[in-house]
Amino acid sequence: MRRYGPAFWAQLSFTLLVCALLVVPVVLSMAAGLTVNYFVGIRSGLTLRWVAEVWALYADTIRLSLGIAVACLACTLVLGVPAAYVLARAKGPVARAIEELLVMPVAVPGLATALALIVTYGGAGDFRRSWLFILVGHVLFTLPFMVRAVLAVMTSIDLKTLEEGAASLGASFVQRFFQVVVPNCASGILAGSLMVFTLSVGEFNLTWLLHTPLTKTLPVGLADSYASMRIEIGSAYTLVFFLMIIPSLILLQLLGRRGRR
């Protein structure tokens, strides 16, 4: 192994510092959520009391967020995978314009999208008050991520040859789509699904304006607890949130690493 020079150590120290900036607050907040009294410090002892209190106060927000995330995933799969297929197959300015339009909800701030939904559908009382109103916002915001993840895989494989092969063997379009296209894009669909789930569970910018007192999601509850509860409860709640998204974040990293190889 070659010896590392001073430049290496300088860059390594800098990178470690950046890592610390990102990781230390996460560790601190996890510790705070399990500490009897954060002001006194960890020597006041460890407890699950705050997690239990979070569950008592906010269990319904956790359930609602999980439900919306699963529904959002289903919607983006049904809408996004066929759309990505069309964008991969169709060349030309119209397809590019549609692609450009579809990713707009990521470029436009959530605040603007939410306001637009409210001024248009705010009068439809039952719809406005139901969790479906939040679902619509989440689907808009996450759909581009599904489309792009699937599209990336579709453009990297030779879809046309695969499909022509299947068609020459007499496969109908539906058979080709579900038995050739979808299995060949499985990694993209999985990556998109994990991203959609994670983003939906954590979505705040849209949800804060779209929610009602009866449709509070986890991040809405988080904002509420940061503003009005003691730091241990906010931390314990954040801990619950981390536990919900960390599995999919780890899977995403593993997928990404396999993709880079």
Partner 1 sequence: MHRRDPFTLALLIAPAAVVFGAFFLLPLAELFVIGGSGPQGWAAYASVVTNPRHLQSLVSTVTLSAGVTAATLAISTVSGLFLVRNRFPGRALLLAMLTFPLAFPGVVVGFMVIMLAGRQGLIGEATHALTGGRVVFAYSMAGLFLGYIYFSIPRVILTVMAAAEKLDPQLEEAARSLGARPWQVVAHVVLPALKPAFLSAGAICFATAMGAFGTAFTLATRINVLPMVIYTEFTLQANIAMAAALSFVLGLVTWAALALARSFAGSTVAAAG
Site for partner 1 in 82-141 (CB under 8 A): 82-83, 85-87, 89-90, 98, 100-102, 104-105, 107-113, 115-117, 119-121, 136, 139-140
DSSP structural state of residue 203: -
Q: Is 39 in the site for partner 1 (CB under 8 A)?
A: yes
DSSP structural state of residue 42: E
Closest to partner 1 by CB, 183 or 259: 259
Closest to partner 1 by CB, 188 or 219: 219
CA dihedral 146, 152, 154, 158 (to 10 degrees): -170
> What values do phi and psi take at 36, rounded to 5?
-60, -45
CA atoms of 174 and 86, how far apart (whole Å): 14
Q: Which of 42, 78, 186, 214 binds partner 1 (CB under 8 A)?
A: 78
CA atoms of 239 and 225, how far apart (whole Å): 13
Q: Is 21 in the site for partner 1 (CB under 8 A)?
A: yes
Using CA atoms, how far residue 13 sits from 5, 8, 18, 60, in Å, is: 13, 9, 9, 44
Residues 45-74 that bind partner 1 (CB under 8 A): none
Q: DSSP letters of 17-30?
A: HHHHHHHHHHHHHH
SS3 call for 64: helix
Size of the site for partner 1 (CB under 8 A): 83
Which region, judged by CB under 8 A, interacts with partner 1, from 16-24, 48-56, 57-65, 123-131? 16-24
Residues 195-234 that bind partner 1 (CB under 8 A): 195, 198-199, 202-205, 208-209, 219, 222-223, 226-227, 231, 234
Closest to partner 1 by CB, 105 or 188: 105
Closest to partner 1 by CB, 55 or 177: 177
